[in-house]
């Protein structure tokens, strides 16, 4: 295959990389004043990358001698990633404008673009090298973004914690990669699958465990979740919204690719790990969130909880299960971004962001529309039927039951009712408590309100209208792996 | 014969200088011993025919990393005597770590014989006649060019990150303006005066 054809398949990453470099130059000469231009240009670049997916990059096959795979699965994940990244770019100016301390600098959208390129590599990885380099590109950008507010001690702490623990996780992952390479003699997923299929040695098993541990850290599944609440609380809110959406999709997408493509024959081995991580995440995410008083910490535990549900679909190990995970992720991204957009609206009279759950008290009387939107996101995250979040949970549990994992599905459903408690508590605070001082309205124009409205429409019962499309698309994406 | 002598010489000096890196009292001496260890390790690499890694060791580790260590050691105000004071206290923990590491080595050797290290499934075979520098270059710039470029982006992110997190505009500092300096003409900057005797100069 010639070079141009290879590049055509990796076009989304090429567009993102070149776009990021060009915007970096614009911001270097334009200074902080160019933030607005660079932000919108970054959204345009993300849109361009999504357009590039319609070409050979959407269904082309293997590029660069088996390093990179462009298929329906990667297309599905990349579209989610690009949407979430674009929303993270768009929600930032309003937040930084009114927060005293650091201004938004044009490097913010540039780093998000580079991170998106890394995430694209992760979900398209067909080789352990692509996996690792993509993961590092995403993680390094994320470390910087977490401490983007330099004058804020909590933000710096979040960045440092994330960096140190992330480096440790990368080390664990690399150790696993080296073991798998040593015992299989190849870094390519199809070659590794052959070796796992031919019978497995202790070394291969150790490699599998370490690789899953490293990926579990990146998707913040229990027991590798410790960093999540602290980092989510300390990082600037738009960055937290980003962490909870796009990198989560990328990490789970990567996990699915490794599990199915590279280690598919070792299903029985990794299924135990995935089942444990799923149940532990659901239970811990539900129980630990109950005592939280900070809305960002609450949403951090909520994201841990949701990763658990998504992993139930992976534990099934069937195309239906993977399709369920993809459906889950699509709906989860809408719910999470919506919740964080509402959190961004929480500002006291001085325009400073507030994060306590108590300050939401009586929001139904002061900001009825916002309260209604938040209530919808909370009900949807809890998986209460008329809303679209229910369908997400239904899809993964359905796949688990069809794969014969009845106990897993039963425990998962039971634990989801524990999780419902704290989501409903937020709704109760907004609707039944005495009003706290009202949040001031921002002056960033109709953009944020519009984004909240879009997210609310997606999670509303109207979302069920997309099921034929979403279902067909996700099953096509999942079948690309098997 | 000459190879064996060279091997034992290099190996002996590596081990000796490694031990002296830990044992020497002066931290600057430690770094110097470390550099010697790197040089001899490079010699060992040449002996096994990996001349590219040997050059990397000298250029990257000796040329950059060790010199950086040296600067850091000389610039930081660390009382090494005080740091060493706890040796007896933490000897137990240190010993435990050493035992754990030794056990890991044993297990790794065991694993070696348990499973088979199988390198027949090579994905990127190279011509055995090709020198290894050329082979690495060929693979890096053709088959693995995608990863190579992506690694470049990782470094770019590191650079942007370092600047984003540490750079700040300093107000009040006076920067050199080369264009203005060059545009300055003698007649604007100097003045010819002829002071009368005994009256001094009017500035």
Chain CA centroid to CA B110, Å: 33
Q: Lowest mean pLDDT of A65-79, A137-151, A197-211, B99-113, name the range.
A: B99-113
Q: Which residues 6+ apart lie within 8 Å of B19 measured at CB?
A: none
- Whether B117 and A182 lie within 8 Å, measured CB to CB: yes
Q: How close B114 gets to chain A, by Cα (Å)?
A: 7
φ and ψ at residue A69, rounded to 5 degrees = -125, 125
Average pLDDT over residues A287-315: 91
SS3 B112: helix
Residues of chain A numbered 80-119 and touching chain B (CB < 8 Å)? 105, 107, 110-111, 114, 117-118
Q: Is the Cβ of A27 closer than 8 Å to some Cβ of chain B?
A: no
Residues of chain A numbered 124-183 and touching chain B (CB < 8 Å)? 129-130, 133-134, 136-137, 140-141, 143-144, 147-148, 150, 159, 182-183
Average pLDDT over residues B134-153: 90
Average pLDDT over residues B29-41: 91
**Mean of the per-residue pLDDT values of chain A:** 89
- pLDDT surpasses 80 at A21: yes
Q: A265-291, pLDDT tens digit by residue?
A: 888 889 999 999 999 999 998 899 888
Where in chain A are the domains? 3-479
The pLDDT assigned to B97 comes to 92
The pLDDT assigned to A33 comes to 82
Which residues are A70's β-sheet partners?
Answer: A61
Cα gap A188→A176, rounded to integer Å? 14
Q: How close B178 gets to chain A, by Cα (Å)?
A: 19
pTM of the entire structure? 0.88
The pLDDT assigned to A434 comes to 83
Cα gap B18→A240, rounded to integer Å? 45
Q: Cβ contacts (< 8 Å) between A136 and chain B: which residues?
A: 154
Nearest to B150 among A20, A133, A144 (CB): A133
- pLDDT surpasses 80 at B186: yes
Per-residue confidence band for B108, with pLDDT thresholds at 50, 70 and 90: confident
Q: A251-262, pLDDT tens digit by residue?
A: 999 999 999 999
Q: Is the Cβ of B106 closer than 8 Å to some Cβ of chain A?
A: no
Q: How close A120 gets to chain B, by Cα (Å)?
A: 11
Cα gap A242→A139, rounded to integer Å? 12
Q: A213-230, pLDDT tens digit by residue?
A: 999 999 999 889 999 999
The pLDDT assigned to B119 comes to 65
- Whether A183 and B160 lie within 8 Å, measured CB to CB: no
Q: DSSP state, A357? A: S
- pLDDT surpasses 70 at A13: yes
Q: A395-428, pLDDT tens digit by residue?
A: 999 999 998 889 889 998 888 888 889 899 999 9
Nearest to B164 among A10, A68, A105 (CB): A105
Per-residue confidence band for B113, with pLDDT thresholds at 50, 70 and 90: low
Q: Which of the listed CATH numbers 3.40.630.30, 3.90.226.10, 3.40.190.10, 1.20.120.1200 matches domain B1-80?
A: 1.20.120.1200
Q: Is the Cβ of A22 closer than 8 Å to some Cβ of chain B?
A: no
Q: Is the Cβ of B143 closer than 8 Å to some Cβ of chain A?
A: yes
Nearest to B115 among A110, A114, A202 (CB): A202
Q: A437-446, pLDDT tens digit by residue?
A: 877 776 667 8
Cα gap B143→A463, rounded to integer Å? 44
The pLDDT assigned to A110 comes to 94
The pLDDT assigned to A257 comes to 93
The pLDDT assigned to A347 comes to 83
Per-residue confidence band for A136, with pLDDT thresholds at 50, 70 and 90: very high
Exposure letters A71-99 (e unless 16+ CB within 10 A, then b): bbbbbbbbbbbbbbbbbbbbbbbbbbebb
Q: Is the Cβ of A65 closer than 8 Å to some Cβ of chain B?
A: yes
- pLDDT surpasses 60 at A178: yes
- pLDDT surpasses 60 at B114: no
- pLDDT surpasses 80 at A333: yes
The pLDDT assigned to A299 comes to 93
- pLDDT surpasses 80 at B122: no
Q: Are A90 and A138 in contact (CB under 8 A)?
A: no
Give CA separation, B190 vs A462, B168, B180, B193, B203, in Å.
Answer: 81, 37, 16, 10, 12
Average pLDDT over residues B187-196: 82
Q: Lowest mean pLDDT of A18-32, A294-308, B181-195, name the range.
A: B181-195
Q: Is the Cβ of B77 closer than 8 Å to some Cβ of chain A?
A: no
Q: A429-479, pLDDT tens digit by residue?
A: 889 888 878 777 766 678 888 899 999 988 888 888 888 888 899 998 888
Is residue A434 within a helix (H) or strand (E), and if so which, with residue range?
none
Q: Is the Cβ of A189 closer than 8 Å to some Cβ of chain B?
A: no
Cα gap A135→A131, rounded to integer Å? 6
Q: Is the Cβ of B120 closer than 8 Å to some Cβ of chain A?
A: yes
Q: A95-119, pLDDT tens digit by residue?
A: 887 665 567 888 899 999 999 999 9
- pLDDT surpasses 80 at A301: yes
Q: B4-30, pLDDT tens digit by residue?
A: 999 999 999 999 999 999 888 888 888
Is residue A81 within a helix (H) or strand (E), and if so which, with residue range?
helix A72-98
As a whole number of Å, the CA-based R_g of chain A is 21
The pLDDT assigned to A167 comes to 93
- Whether B119 and A183 lie within 8 Å, measured CB to CB: no
Per-residue confidence band for A310, with pLDDT thresholds at 50, 70 and 90: very high
Which residues are A312's β-sheet partners?
Answer: none
Percent of chain A topping pLDDT 90: 52
- pLDDT surpasses 90 at B200: no
- Selected residue of B116, B157, B163 to mutate for chain A interface (largest A Cβ count, 10 A): B157
Q: A22-66, pLDDT tens digit by residue?
A: 999 999 888 888 888 999 999 999 999 999 998 888 877 888 888
Q: What is the torsion angle, in degrees rounded to the nearest 10, for the CA atoms of residue A366, residue A370, residue A374 and residue A376?
A: 110
């Amino acid at each position: 295959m010639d070079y141009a054809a290879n590049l055509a398949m990796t076009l989304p990453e090429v567009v993102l990389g070149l776009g990021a470099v060009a915007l970096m130059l614009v911001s270097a000469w334009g200074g902080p004043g160019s933030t607005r231009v660079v932000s919108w240009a970054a959204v345009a670049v993300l849109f361009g990358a999504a357009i590039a997916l319609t070409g050979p990059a959407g269904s082309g096959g293997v590029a660069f001698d088996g390093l990179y795979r462009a298929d329906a699965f990667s297309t599905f994940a990349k579209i989610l990633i690009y949407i979430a990244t674009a929303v993270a770019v768009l929600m930032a100016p309003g937040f930084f404008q009114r927060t005293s301390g650091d201004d938004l600098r044009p490097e913010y959208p540039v780093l998000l673009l580079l991170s998106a390129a890394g995430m694209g590599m992760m979900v398209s990885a067909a080789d352990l090298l692509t996996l690792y380099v993509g993961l590092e590109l995403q993680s390094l950008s994320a470390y910087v973004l977490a401490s983007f507010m330099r004058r804020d001690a909590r933000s710096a702490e979040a960045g440092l914690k994330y960096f140190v623990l992330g480096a440790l996780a990368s080390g664990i992952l690399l150790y696993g990669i080296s073991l798998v390479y040593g015992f299989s003699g190849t870094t390519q997923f199809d070659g590794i699958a052959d070796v796992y299929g031919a019978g497995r040695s202790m070394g291969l098993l150790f490699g599998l465990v370490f690789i899953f541990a490293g990926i579990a850290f990146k998707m913040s599944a229990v027991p590798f979740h410790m960093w999540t609440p602290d980092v989510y609380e300390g990082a600037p809110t738009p960055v937290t919204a980003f962490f909870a959406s796009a990198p989560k999709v990328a990490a789970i997408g990567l996990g699915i690719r490794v599990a199915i493509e590279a280690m598919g024959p070792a299903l029985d081995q990794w299924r135990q790990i995935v089942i444990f991580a799923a149940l532990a995440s659901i239970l811990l995410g539900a129980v630990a969130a109950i005592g939280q008083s900070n809305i960002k910490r609450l949403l951090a535990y909520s994201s841990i909880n949701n990763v658990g549900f998504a992993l139930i679909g992976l534990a099934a190990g069937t195309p239906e299960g993977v399709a369920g995970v993809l459906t889950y992720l699509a709906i989860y991204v809408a719910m999470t971004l919506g919740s964080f957009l509402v959190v961004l609206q929480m500002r006291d009279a001085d325009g400073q962001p507030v994060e306590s759950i108590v300050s939401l008290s009586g929001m139904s009387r002061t900001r009825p529309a916002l309260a209604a939107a938040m209530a919808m996101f909370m009900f949807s995250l809890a998986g209460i039927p008329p809303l679209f979040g229910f369908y997400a949970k239904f899809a993964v549990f359905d796949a688990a039951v069809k794969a014969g994992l009845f106990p897993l599905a039963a425990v998962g459903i039971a634990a989801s009712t524990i999780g419902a408690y704290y989501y409903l508590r937020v709704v109760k605070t907004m609707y039944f408590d005495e009003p706290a001082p009202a949040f001031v309205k921002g002056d960033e124009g109709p953009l944020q309100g519009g984004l909240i409205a879009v997210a609310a429409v997606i999670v509303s019962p109207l979302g069920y209208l997309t099921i034929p499309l979403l279902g067909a698309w996700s099953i096509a994406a999942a079948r690309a792996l098997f | 014969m000459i190879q064996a002598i060279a091997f034992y010489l290099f190996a002996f000096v590596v081990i000796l200088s490694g031990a002296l890196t830990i044992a020497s009292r002066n931290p600057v001496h430690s770094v110097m011993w470390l550099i010697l260890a790197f040089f001899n390790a490079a010699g060992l690499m040449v002996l096994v025919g990996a001349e590219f890694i040997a050059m990397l060791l000298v250029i990257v580790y000796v040329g950059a990393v060790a010199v950086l260590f040296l600067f850091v050691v000389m610039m930081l105000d660390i009382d090494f005597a005080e740091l060493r004071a706890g040796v007896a206290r933490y000897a137990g923990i240190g010993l435990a770590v050493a035992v754990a590491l030794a056990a890991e080595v044993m297990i790794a050797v065991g694993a070696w014989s348990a499973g088979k290290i199988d390198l027949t499934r090579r994905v990127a075979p190279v011509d055995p006649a090709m020198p290894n520098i050329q082979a690495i270059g060929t693979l890096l710039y053709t088959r693995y060019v995608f990863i190579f470029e992506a690694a470049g982006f990782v470094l770019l992110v590191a650079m942007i990150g370092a600047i984003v997190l540490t750079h700040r505009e300093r107000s009040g500092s006076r920067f050199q303006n080369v264009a203005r300096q060059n545009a300055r003409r003698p007649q604007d900057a100097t003045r010819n005066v002829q002071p009368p005797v005994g009256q001094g100069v009017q500035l």
